[in-house]
Amino acid sequence: MNNKRQSMFNGEIAKHAVKESFIKLNPMFMMKNPVMFIVEVGTFVVLMMVLFPKYFGTEDQIGFNISVFLILLFTVLFANFAEALAEGRGKAQADSLKKGKREIQANKRIGSEIKVINSTELRKGDVVIVSSGEMIPGDGEVIEGLASVDESAITGESAPVIKEAGGDFNSVTGGTRVVSDVITVRITADPGESFIDKMISLVEGAQRQKTPNEIALNTLLTCLTLIFLIVVVTLAPIANYFDIDLPIPVLISLLVCLIPTTIGGLLSAIGIAGMDRVTQFNVLAMSGKAVEASGDINTMILDKTGTITYGNRMASEFIPVGKMTKKELGYWAAISSLKDETPEGRSVLELMRKLDYFVEDQLAVGGEFVEFKAQTRMSGIDLKDGRHVRKGAVDSVRKWVESQGGLIPADLEDKANVISSDGGTPLAVAVDGIIYGLIYLKDTVKPGMKERFDQLRQMGIKTIMCTGDNPLTAATIAREAGVDSFIAESTPEDKIAVIRREQSEGKLVAMTGDGTNDAPALAQADVGLAMNSGTTAAKEASNMVDLDSDPSKIIEVVAIGKQLLMTRGALTTFSIANDVAKYFAIIPAMFMVAIPEMNGLNVMSLGSPLSAILSALIFNAVIIPLLIPLAMKGVKYKPMGASKLLSRNLLIYGVGGVIAPFLGIKVIDLIVHLWI
């Protein structure tokens, strides 16, 4: 998505929005927005009075009626323009993606043969071979090999990323290009169901579903509109009873000024722009509900590795225990890692090369590799000669050795604690009943994480770190990062348990993850952010996918969600506060001639009844386009408590919403009064 950050008033987008503004005047479309539909009906009624003045007996008011008609028409057009502009930005992103989507030649593996076919012929489960310089023909998972992949077509980032089999970073996206080496990919999506297809569907935005909060607010605005409609309709006969003539255009003007036209005209645009901001941030939200939910998050569950720390836990030192030597420990650590395709496993072999230690590769030939599992927290190899080699968490290896009838070295616990207290991760290495020592895995906390967690705390969000590390290592990392709580030696079941516990207390929970073992917790969380580089299972279980695969982005996603809710709330407050000022402009103007005492309410000292009504209408129309940039960009969010945030917004958008119309209507009246 290289061109995804479209300028708000890009010429093509603005031109398209102007055209759509008129197309959206179709009553069948306008009925979806009750507030603006009422304005359109009023516009049509005034137009009839302009076209047929004799029939309505309004020949002497033709100039005023034309003015009211034009102002009401522009009010509706401005509201349509705001929505069309938001949709246009999404469609521009979709067009950019569509240009990058094309048929690709795929090398499909059928048994031992390779058949070249079009990517559109691929189906879920097919296996393809992708070599250096070739495009990946569809979404899938790497099942063999390791390669650098250029994902700039999706993420906009030029730096290639490593994709490899056997780990959590094995997911590839159709339309990306292999930069080096060869990988074998199993296709996981049928044509039309790929990530790019989903992105195109979502960023176009026109057919999006309204979120629960948006539906609730729309219901409130509809009720307010009905109330004011009843008030205005009953006002006419009451005025006639007192021999006060209230022309229909004046009553329509009063209705339009009193109903919440500002937020009614911008509500849809705010929702579309909110989704657009998330997409511009390279996060694919499966629904607007997920974006809204992120703004109400109370608890955030974070993986340590790759989120709080860099995640590149690499073997940095061999620490033998008992009477073992470094060479002996390194030898068996290497044997256990020969078939281990994880970054940690490869780092053990890299450390062996740096130390010039010898490893007998042939010993592992024919052996059965034992993959790492969250439940056992160990991996290793069962050799052909009957020996069993294991490496993994110290307590897991210790229990395994005890089950083999072996003895535990006296210095094992102390040396493991020293590594843990330094923030490292100790991996024990054992052969049958003998523990040879520890592999010191180093990982570091990302800079600035403590400050970011402080910001979350100011938002009222509790942070919980989940890690497979032992309690001592977990405590050290948690203290350095500044999280509120942590769960050490956590399993997938532990993550689900803590999410359910928080939810049982009425809290909304967010979580990041990239592995298959994270999928159940991602599905359970209210906001699950999966990494694009992660497994297909994780992405399918989540309701958001980060295309940049940056786990710490969940913090920004929460801020975007809060910004969306704040923008909607702020503009609603501003819109309703506006009505107070418009009330003081129109009500005195309607009655001051017949009831001179009403002139006391003319606190703005407006020039005449006609200029007061037109000035209020003009302000009501002009304020919509003036607020479009705010609706698109969102209200600036600063981390703070809910009560403080409410007070701040009431002051700015509540009090400001009352003052701005007083000033604006007065300035407009000075100009209009001269014209009249």
Q: Which residues are annotated as a binding site?
A: 340, 344, 372-379, 391, 514, 518
Residue type at 572 in one-letter notation: T
Phi-psi region at 336: left, alpha or beta (left = phi > 0; alpha = psi -120 to 50): alpha
- Judge contact between 91 and 208, C-beta under 8 A: no
Which residues, in sequence order, are CB contacts of 106 under 8 Å at separation 6+?
Answer: 116, 117, 118, 119, 121, 122, 128, 137, 138
Burial of 390 (0-12, 13-18, 19+ CB in 10 A): buried
Compute the Cα dihedral for 272, 275, 277, 282 and give only its sign.
Answer: negative
Retrieve residue 255's tokens.
Answer: 């209705």
Residue set of the binding site for ATP:
340, 344, 372-379, 391
Compute the Cα dihedral for 463, 156, 447, 634 and give only its sign.
Answer: negative
Q: Which among 99, 81, 293, 86 is positioned nearest to 203, based on CA atoms?
A: 86
b/e per residue, 4-40, with b = 16+ CB within 10 A?
Answer: bebeeeeeebbebbeebbeebbeeeebeebbbbbbbb
**Other Cβ atoms closer than 10 A to 1:** 20
Residue set of the binding site for Mg(2+):
514, 518
Residue type at 461 in one-letter notation: I
DSSP 3-state assignment of 159?
A: coil
DSSP 3-state assignment of 120?
A: helix
- Ranges of H-type helices in 535-608: 536-541, 554-591
Cα–Cα distance, 308 to 121 (Å, whole number): 41
Active site residue 303: yes
The string of DSSP letters for 345-380 reads HHHHHHHHHHTT----GGGGTT-EEE---TTT-EEE
Catalytic position from the list 276, 303, 469, 526: 303
- Ranges of H-type helices in 598-655: 609-633, 642-649
**Other Cβ atoms closer than 10 A to 375:** 10
Q: Which among 246, 85, 189 is positioned nearest to 633, based on CA atoms?
A: 85
Measured in whole angstroms, how far is the alpha carbon of residue 383 from the centre of its chain?
48
Name residue, tokens 């407009």.
Answer: 668
Measured at the alpha carbon of residue 378, what is the angle toward residues 377 and 379, in degrees to the nearest 5?
A: 140
> Of all helices (H) and strands (E), which one includes residue 221?
helix 212-241
Strand partners, 369: 381
Cα–Cα distance, 320 to 317 (Å, whole number): 10
Cα–Cα distance, 80 to 266 (Å, whole number): 9
**How many distinct helices (H) and strands (E) make up the chain?**
24, 21
Retrieve residue 28's tokens.
Answer: 């069948």
Q: Catalytic residue numbers? A: 303
